[in-house]
Structure 1
Amino acid sequence: MSKLSRTRPRAAGAACTAAVLALLVPACSDDGGSGGDKGDSTADLSAQEISDRAKQELLDAESVHLTLTDKGRDVDKDDPAEMDLRLDRDGNCTGTLSFGANGGTAELVKQGDKVWMKPDEAFWKSQVPRGQGAAAAELFKDRYVHGTTKNPMLKGLSEVCDLKELQDDVSDDAGSDDDAKDLRKGAVTTVDGTRVIPLTGKDDDGKDTTLYVAAEGKPYLVRATEKGDGTDRTTTLTDYDKPVPTKTPSAKDSVDVSKLEEQLREV
């Protein structure tokens, strides 16, 4: 059904998220101004070594809890302004996506090729064209639209669920000298109660970037920020290798996507 297929967000911000995670691929570093604590094994490493180890931990992760906030001036109704997702390498996920310019919010659950999506009223009105959104919001209020990744809209929204795809994006960028980013190591600080080492630099577009890598235990990337020229994006990563919840919405709380398509044809 062509009307519904046009509601596809831009891969639900998968490219946006990958761009932030790709900050982990500097080809060179400047370790001047090291502020690490002596005796802290990770903090004693160079900025390049810390970045390399954090990148490897991300590439090895089986799952992760990812939150993203994008306050950039160009975020529109097809772009995620906020994401809160638990996702894994098998493409399973659960969480919420909130879109810019009052594009609404959608709860998302994906297990294998099965997808459940529960949009709010603002999402329906923003994403479904020619006034049909209000009718869809009323017809399917507080219920999940259920289908598979064969449906264009559900596929487009759920592409963000694939951690492996994001890892591949990071890995593919890693070998290019053209993407070199100078990183400078700062003093150990804390992010949400976790001791971290900040690595600061600029990306290829000249925006200021900071990677916050765990100073103790495994050198996980905890947070990445990108700011400048209308960009203000923060990604936080926690719960590495913690399984994605497997609970799916009940049948009584779900409606098949074919029913949605049928109802919209009648509006």
Structure 2
Amino acid sequence: MAAQRIAARAAACAAFVVLAVTSGTAVRADDDIESLPAEQIADRSRDALLDVRSLHLRAQGDLGENRSAMTVDLTLDRNGNCVGDVDLGRDQGKVEIIKRGDGVWLKPDADFWKNQVPVGGSAFDAVLAGRYMKGDASDSRLRPVVEACDLDTFRELVSDNAATGGTFTKGEVTTVDGVRAVPVTRTLHDRRLTAYVDTGGEHLPVRITVAGDGADAAVDFSGFDKPVPTATPPADETVDVSALLGRAPSQS
């Protein structure tokens, strides 16, 4: 199902940027983060990110490697709950995603069905009539959605794949969305990856950017440890995903 690929890309888009900027050397220091070397600032930021229980991320842009520009906007937590959407850009379609407990709801728009499911997509769109597809988290067809919605999946990627190598540099303190932050840039394989690290609090990253070698993307982080919204679609606004996919559209 095309929505599976979208969910997988949602996770990969944010994880790629985070993995590439961390150095993988666990170093602790005092709270005068602005005076630390660039690698230690990156480490502090990574460790702080691993400690949060929920967050909001907005990833947008082009990661290169023949990947089209897209936007991922998700609020997610360690319990596997999430709310948000994935926009493929260029009128290629958008999918709303809600995951709460064992329930998963997806609402692709008309452009998604037209461009991502060219054979029969319009029939699925007509059946849904603006409603959500609803499935169970145990449904293997929805596994990429479930994984993309779980902050623990994201944390494992960051923890297990923190990379080494490259050159780290520290920039001048700046402001990102009203937050005072110190930029740390890692240059590796013709790509420049910059983490803007909050100089206060737990020194969390507020933005990470990647540029070069065909890539131009950014991930903004906010809403740390704030609960994921609990609202889910009512029954009369949903269609069972198995019932929907069981309707074989005409290929004529």
Query: Do both share a fold (TM > 0.5)?
Result: yes
How far residue 127 of structure 1 moved from its aligned partner, in angstroms, is 2.6
Q: Which residue of 2 aligns with 1:65?
A: 56
The answer as to whether partners of 1:12 and 1:159 remain within 8 angstroms in 2 is no
Structure 2 counterpart of 1:155, which letter?
Answer: R
Q: Which residue of 1 aligns with 2:156?
A: 168
Q: Distance in 2 between matches of 1:197 and 1:23?
A: 18
How far residue 226 of structure 1 moved from its aligned partner, in angstroms, is 0.5
What 5-or-longer segments of structure 2 have no aligned partner?
Answer: 26-30
Alignment of 1:1-150 (within 5 A): 5=1, 8-9=4-5, 11-26=8-23, 41-72=32-63, 74-76=66-68, 81-100=70-89, 102-130=91-119, 132-150=120-138
The answer as to whether partners of 1:208 and 1:228 remain within 8 angstroms in 2 is yes
How far residue 17 of structure 1 moved from its aligned partner, in angstroms, is 1.9
How far residue 22 of structure 1 moved from its aligned partner, in angstroms, is 0.7
Q: Structure 1 residues 125 and 153 mapped into 2: Cα distance closer, same or farther (>3 Å)?
A: farther
Q: Structure 1 residues 135 and 222 mapped into 2: Cα distance closer, same or farther (>3 Å)?
A: same
Q: What is the number of residues matched between the two proteins?
A: 244
How far residue 72 of structure 1 moved from its aligned partner, in angstroms, is 4.5
Q: Which residue of 2 aligns with 1:252?
A: 236
The answer as to whether partners of 1:27 and 1:180 remain within 8 angstroms in 2 is no
Matched, 1:237 2:225: no
Q: Distance in 1 between matches of 2:200 and 2:2?
A: 47
Deviates more, 1:52-61 or 1:40-49: 40-49
How far residue 70 of structure 1 moved from its aligned partner, in angstroms, is 1.8
TM-score by length of 2: 0.88
How far residue 143 of structure 1 moved from its aligned partner, in angstroms, is 0.6
How far residue 154 of structure 1 moved from its aligned partner, in angstroms, is 2.7
What 5-or-longer segments of structure 1 have no aligned partner?
Answer: 29-39
Q: Distance in 1 between matches of 2:246 and 2:157?
A: 37
Secondary structure of the 2:228 match is coil
TM-superposition CA deviations, 1:184-207 (whole Å, max 9, x none)? 11111001111100001213x320
Structure 1 counterpart of 2:182, which letter?
Answer: I
How far residue 152 of structure 1 moved from its aligned partner, in angstroms, is 4.1
Q: Distance in 1 between matches of 2:3 and 2:181?
A: 40
Matched, 1:181 2:166: yes
Secondary structure of the 2:236 match is helix
TM-score by length of 1: 0.84
How far residue 129 of structure 1 moved from its aligned partner, in angstroms, is 4.6
How far residue 27 of structure 1 moved from its aligned partner, in angstroms, is 5.0
Q: Distance in 1 between matches of 2:173 and 2:159?
A: 27
How far residue 113 of structure 1 moved from its aligned partner, in angstroms, is 2.8
How far residue 6 of structure 1 moved from its aligned partner, in angstroms, is 5.8
Q: Which residue of 2 aligns with 1:34?
A: none
What is the aligned-residue RMSD (CA, Å)? 2.1
The answer as to whether partners of 1:69 and 1:233 remain within 8 angstroms in 2 is yes
